[in-house]
Amino acid sequence: MPVPYIFGRAVRVQLAPLALSSLAALLLVAPATATAGASATAVTAGGGIAASGGITAGQLDVPGGPFDSPARVRMTFRRVHAGMNVLDGHATTVAGLLLPARGGHLVELQSRRGRRWRTLARTFTGRRGRFALRYTPRGLREQRLRVLFPGDTAAGATARRLGTLGVFRLAGASWYGGGGSLACGGWLTSSTLGVANKTLPCGTLVTLRYGARSIRVPVVDRGPYVAGRDFDLTEATKRALGFEGVGEVWSSR
């Protein structure tokens, strides 16, 4: 074999090019065990050469890229129960399940004001996805409610509307019947639905609850003029509520 360098003088050497097949053959017959201080090589299935350091020059068979987004889970609310009628200053409870059942998910109770939803209470789901939210309203004001899961890195946001929460106060009531004219106009009959009140404007709608029954009626007359009583129910209103004699009703006004 010609010596490429002799006593400081460059010598032109003619080397025959190796065919690619010969190079592949040399790699395939390389010893499996490397000598001390040298790196072992191997031919990968993709045609690359892997060094002992673990870096592969061939094609990597990796499922997905490092920036691929994970699959989003669809969360849903199930078996949601809510106390939708409550006395002013008393708590209402909203309970249910968030599925798939996982612990540690944030759940919010919200009310609608104008075009925005305002958070009233927050909690986290238990191990089986259960949650319970408690809220104490203040003031005689109806509120539209929903429960919300705001979403996280694995699941998108989801919400479930609950309806309207009615907030009431206790009011003393009695009833009256017969005939005659009404202070707000018209005539009292056995089929007249309404209540008498001393201060609310005529025509004001009042929601009354008695037991499991509820009715919404206008103020049609003035009275009652007995201490401790807020409303006089007409005979038809009394029948609709199942109210008897003198007692207390829940009133929205």
At 1 the pLDDT is 52
Q: What is the Cα–Cα distance from 18 to 250, expressed in whole angstroms?
A: 100
Last residue of a domain, one of 167, 197, 214: 167
* Same domain assignment for residues 92 and 163: yes
Distance (Å, whole) CA 20 – CA 16: 13
pLDDT digits (tens, 9 = 90+) for 67-90: 444 567 889 999 999 999 999 999
Which two structure tokens, joined as six digits, stand for 3?
């010596």
In CATH, what number is assigned to the domain containing residue 158?
A: 2.60.40.730
Q: Are residues 122 and 143 in the same domain?
A: yes
Q: Are residues 132 and 95 in the same domain?
A: yes
- What confidence tier does 147 reach under pLDDT thresholds 50, 70, 90? very high
DSSP 135: E
162 with 81, same domain: the answer is yes
Q: Residue 212: which CATH number?
A: 2.40.40.10
Domain carrying residue 82? 76-167
Domain contains 33: no
What is d(CA 224, CA 50) in angstroms, rounded to the nearest whole number?
Answer: 97
Q: What pLDDT is recorded for position 52?
A: 43
Cα distance between residue 66 and residue 89, in whole Å: 53
Instruction: Say whether both 225 and 203 belong to one domain.
Output: yes
Distance CA 219, CA 233 (A): 10
pTM of the shown model: 0.65
Q: In this structure, are residues 200 and 231 in contact, taking their beta carbons and an 8 Å threshold?
A: no
Question: 66: left (phi > 0), else alpha (psi -120 to 50), else beta?
Answer: alpha
Does one domain contain both 184 and 153?
A: no
Give 42-65 pLDDT, tens digit per residue.
444 444 444 444 433 444 344 444
How high is the pLDDT of residue 208?
97
User: Could you tell me if 141 and 182 lie in one domain?
Assistant: no
- Which SS3 state, helix, strand or coil, does residue 231 take? strand
Identify whether residues 84 and 155 lie together within a single domain.
yes
Residue after which a domain boundary falls, among 125, 143, 167: 167
pLDDT higher than threshold 60 for residue 197: yes
pLDDT at 191 over 70: yes
- Given 117, 135, 167, the domain boundary residue is 167
Q: What is the pLDDT of residues 159-172, one digit of tens each?
A: 999 999 999 999 99
Confidence (pLDDT) at 70 = 53
Distance CA 253, CA 63 (A): 64
Q: If we measure between CA atoms, which residue out of 195, 241, 185 comes closest to residue 218?
A: 195
